[in-house]
Structure 1
Amino acid sequence: MQKLGLIAGNGHFPFLLLDAARAHGLTVVVAAIKEETDPEIDSRAAADPNIHVHWLSLGELSRLIETFQAEGVTRAVMAGQVKHKQIFSSIRPDWRLAKLLMSLRTRNTDMLLGAVAKVLADEGIELISSTQYLEPLLAKPGVLTQRAPDEEEQKDIAYGHTVARAVAAYDLGQTVVIAAQACVAVEAMEGTDATIERAGALFRTLEHDEPTGETTLRRSLTVVKVAKPNQDMRFDVPVIGVRTIETMRAAGATCLSIEAGRTLLFDPEAILAAANNAGITIVSEP
């Protein structure tokens, strides 16, 4: 039986990919990251002899390669987030990764993961797109919810795309939060949900600071999430889940814009149901 290596980060993404790979009849060799991967992965392996789990720490690049080679893995995929602050602060690199880090011109996430992909390729392990087995979950173009964006939200989307694409080009983040064509928050290392929470807190502060109790800004937020201009679909693919919608609702965000064909929707039915219940519009830009 053909084998697929799975480098598993946090969240539900690794489990979705695991299920998809098994549905294709593949044996899955999971490299579970101690600092990130949900321990539930062990339960899945206990119930399925064609799932092999190996636990390793961030920074153990040599052990990752040795594990895949020992299992006969020649194709692998990355699924699930590894927090940026983990990569650049908590990591304890082995000799191979330390050498790689020293060779990087800049230490952003794309540069690091691209270099890791090259090392894997040199060792006979091809890193493939994380969406290869999950294409049905890629966002289709158009308005996905019952409500379409209104005129003001459309203006915020247009402005947000301009800002988000400029920011994403520098690998700083892929999400911005907009209100009345003003940028309230830009994603950095904290991730999408934390960016939305920060925008909500800041927006509430702006409202309270108005001496008349009124604000010149519209009392709602638009979230714009984009792929990078040269998005490498092998890693760091834009992802939306139900938690994103719940975070938007709590922050007072009413509109979400994503990119069609380059954004994964985890559990699309649940996402759209949550958005419709909250009066949030989701539009997928072609």
Structure 2
Amino acid sequence: MSTASGKLGLIAGNGRFPFLLLDAARAHGMTVVVAAIKEETDPEIDQRAEADPAIRVHWLSLGELSRLIETFHKEGVMQAVMAGQVRHKQIFSSIRPDWRLAKLLLSLRTRNTDMLLGAVAKVLGDEGIELISSTSYLEPLLAKPGVLTARAPGEQEQLDIAYGRNVALAIAGYDIGQTVVIAGQACVAVEAMEGTDAAIERAGALMRSLAEEGEASTLARSLTVVKVARPKQDMRFDVPVIGIGTIETMQRAGATCLAIEAGRTLIFDSDTIRSRADAAGIAVFAMEHR
């Protein structure tokens, strides 16, 4: 894949996603213009630019939509991609919007992440900057269907996956979150603004507190984590991602099974994830998209 100008704009959030996309785009011979978000992007991005003249980094605050557009125009960027998470609470609490973003925020019918990012994508498109899929250059990292670990989900875990998938799709449809944590076909935690890892940690803490109080009863069983894409997922942003941190968080929380959607979830460092999950006795299963 390549863009008409041979340049790709990269709007970089947190985590390893921006770096993986950066490496993949460079492997395709693209010049990459990085819009690094001061509140989110790892400063390591500067080291990549120092080592490679085809990578140019511009640091912007989260609310500087006009400056983002001006930067891409000056650099001759006509296609861009969003990669890496921008924490939901940052979007709605920490930013100081410029006039363009303030106007956009006032125009939103609902103030959820999907609505906001879709509106930003439209503004970029109106300015001649096409926002392309966040899985561009990374399609080999999309989960393949089936069992991805040595251990397959057990009978109880399969029941929890089936129940959890329906719940997760329902909340994802309302853009509340994409992850639920299930035990014994009961919903222990639902992801909201705090993010996936925090939801898993909250479920683990709840189960520990029940056990300490001697009230675990029917919930005294392991946790299953179900993560889905939205029913009408826009692949340009907020595509589900799992990495080593997901497995580590599950292990701390006492979760034994992870279910994700095949073809709609990116898996970073899959070999390490598989070995870590196998060592922890965690089953990872990629569900067929329906």
Q: Distance in 2 between matches of 1:104 and 1:279?
A: 45
Shift of the alpha carbon at 1:205? 1.1
User: Is this contact kept in 1: 2:211–2:220, CA < 8 A?
Assistant: no
1:45 equivalent to 2:49? Answer yes
Unpaired stretches in structure 2, ≥5 consecutive residues: none
Q: Which residue of 2 aligns with 1:9?
A: 13
Following superposition of structure 1 onto structure 2, how do residues 31-180 of structure 1 map, counting pairs within 5 Å?
31-180=35-184
Matched residues, percent identical? 79
1:256 to 239, 248, 258: 258
Taking the aligned partners of 1:173 and 1:223, their CA distance within structure 2 comes to: 13
Q: 1:207 Cα shift? A: 1.6
Letter in 1 for 2:233: Q
- 2: CA distance, partners of 1:192 / 1:281: 18
In structure 2, give the amino acid aligned to 1:151: E
CA distance in 1, matches of 2:228, 2:211: 28
Post-superposition offset of 1:93: 0.4
1:23 is the counterpart of 2:27: yes
Provide the rounded CA distance (Å) in 1 between the counterparts of 2:51 and 2:131.
Answer: 27
Q: Give the length in aligned residue pairs.
A: 284
1:76 and 1:118 map into 2 onto residues whose CA distance is 12
Gaps of 5+ in 1: none
Name the counterpart of 1:246: 248
Counterparts of 1:126 and 1:243, CA distance in 2: 32
Secondary structure of the 1:216 match is helix
Q: Describe how 1:183-198 pairs up with structure 2 within 5 A.
A: 183-198=187-202
- Offset of 1:136 from its aligned partner? 0.5
- How far the C-alpha of 1:208 sits from its partner, in A, is 2.0
Tell me the residue number matched to 1:270. 272
Aligned residue type for 2:63: G
Does 2:213 match 1:209? yes
Residue 270 of structure 1 aligns with an amino acid whose one-letter code is: T
SS of the residue aligned with 2:285? Answer: strand
Distance 1:125 1:252 in 2: 45
Please provide the CA RMSD for this pair.
0.8
**Whole-Å Cα distance in 2 between the matches of residues 193 and 264 of structure 1?**
16
* Mapped pair 1:285 → 2:287: yes
Equivalents in 2 of 1:32, 1:6: separation in Å? 8
TM-score (normalised: structure 1): 0.98
